[in-house]
C-alpha cells in the first residue's frame, strides 16, 4: 500500500517512526530538525496530509498504510495539536500490532480560543498591509466566535476562513498581486483549520499505552497526573535542541526508561 499520508524524512533502519504535525512552514522547529539530530536506526516519516475524517476512520487508514509495509512501528511522535492525532494513531496500530512508544511534544488541545489564536497568528505576517481597523475587527471576530460558539468548532473555523480570505483579498489588491496568491494563502490556512478540526476529535487518553509528555518552558501536560519530562528550552526550539535530541534517542533505544 502506498504511504499517501506520509513522506520520508530519513531511512536509517527497518523500524518506522511516524511523526504527526501540520506539514506547513512555521518559525518553530519541526520533526525534520529532530530527525536530523537523533541518530537512531529507524525510518522517520512525517505526516503529509490529513485526508477526510472522522478521526477514528482516518487513524485506522493511516495505521493500515504503515502496517502494510511489514515494518514494525517503534514509536509515534506528535507535536502541538498533532499530539491528539498521535494518540489515536498509536491506538490504531496497537490494535493489530505491538503497541508503540508514544512521545508527545508540547501537547495542546484544539479549542475555539486556539482556533482564534491561530487566525491572528496567520494574519501577523501581513499585518503591515492591513489597516488598524481590519486588525481590530479580526481580533474582535475571533474573540466573539469563541465566546458565542465555544463548542461549535466547525462554525468558528468556517467564519475565520471566510474572514481570512476577505482580508487576503484586500492585501492582494493593495500589493497588486495576482488573485492566485490570495487563493493559495487561503487554501493553506483552510487546510490548517481542517487539520486542527480533525485534531479536536482526538485527545490524550489512550487505550493501549501511557504517553510520555515532553514539555518546553511554559508548557504543562494537558492532563493531570501525566508522565512528563520538563525540558529547559523554548517552544520554538524544542525539536532542534541538542539535549532534547539526546533524550529522544535514549527513549527510542530504551537506554532511558521512564
The model's pTM is: 0.93
Length of the chain: 258
- The whole-number pLDDT of residue 5 equals 85
Mean pLDDT of 160-171: 94
Quick one: DSSP state of residue 127?
G
Could you give the CA distance from residue 167 to residue 231 in angstroms, rounded to a whole number?
A: 38
pLDDT value, residue 256: 61
For cell 527497518, name the residue.
Answer: 14
Other Cβ atoms within 10 Å of 232 Cβ, number: 9
pLDDT 10s digits, 71-125: 999 999 999 999 999 999 999 999 999 999 999 999 999 999 999 999 999 999 8
Q: Which CATH number fits domain 6-109+203-253: 3.20.20.370, 1.10.150.80, 3.40.50.1820, 3.30.9.10?
A: 3.40.50.1820
CATH 3.40.50.1820 domain residues, the chain: 6-109+203-253
> String of b and e for 124-143 (b: at least 16 CB within 10 Å)?
eebeebbeeebbeebeebbe
First to last CA, the chain: 35
Is residue 138 within 8 A of residue 117, CB to CB? The reply is no
Amino acid at each position: 500500500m502506498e504511504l499517501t499520508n506520509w513522506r520520508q524524512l530519513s531511512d536509517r533502519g527497518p523500524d518506522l517512526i511516524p511523526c504527526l504535525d501540520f506539514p506547513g512552514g512555521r518559525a518553530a522547529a519541526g520533526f525534520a530538525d529532530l530527525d536530523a539530530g537523533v541518530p537512531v536506526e529507524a525510518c522517520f516519516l512525517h505526516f503529509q496530509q490529513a485526508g477526510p475524517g472522522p478521526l477514528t476512520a482516518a487513524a485506522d487508514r493511516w495505521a493500515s498504510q504503515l502496517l502494510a509495509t511489514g515494518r514494525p512501528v517503534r514509536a509515534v511522535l506528535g507535536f502541538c495539536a498533532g499530539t491528539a492525532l498521535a494518540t489515536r494513531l498509536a491506538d490504531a496500530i496497537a490494535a493489530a500490532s505491538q503497541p508503540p512508544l508514544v512521545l508527545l511534544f508540547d501537547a495542546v488541545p484544539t479549542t475555539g480560543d486556539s482556533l482564534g489564536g491561530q487566525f491572528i497568528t496567520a494574519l501577523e505576517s501581513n499585518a503591515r498591509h492591513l489597516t488598524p481597523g481590519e486588525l481590530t475587527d479580526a481580533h474582535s471576530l475571533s474573540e466573539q466566535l469563541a465566546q458565542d460558539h465555544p463548542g461549535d468548532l466547525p462554525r468558528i473555523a468556517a467564519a475565520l476562513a471566510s474572514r481570512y480570505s476577505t482580508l487576503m483579498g484586500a492585501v492582494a489588491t493593495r500589493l497588486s498581486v495576482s488573485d492566485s496568491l490570495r487563493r493559495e494563502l487561503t487554501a493553506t490556512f483552510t487546510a490548517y483549520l481542517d487539520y486542527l478540526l480533525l485534531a479536536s476529535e482526538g485527545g490524550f487518553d489512550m487505550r493501549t499505552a501511557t504517553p510520555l509528555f515532553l514539555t518546553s518552558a511554559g508548557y504543562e501536560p494537558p492532563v493531570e497526573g501525566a508522565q512528563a519530562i520538563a525540558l529547559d528550552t523554548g517552544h520554538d526550539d524544542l525539536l532542534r535542541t541538542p539535549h532534547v535530541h539526546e533524550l529522544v534517542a535514549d527513549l527510542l533505544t530504551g537506554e532511558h526508561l521512564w
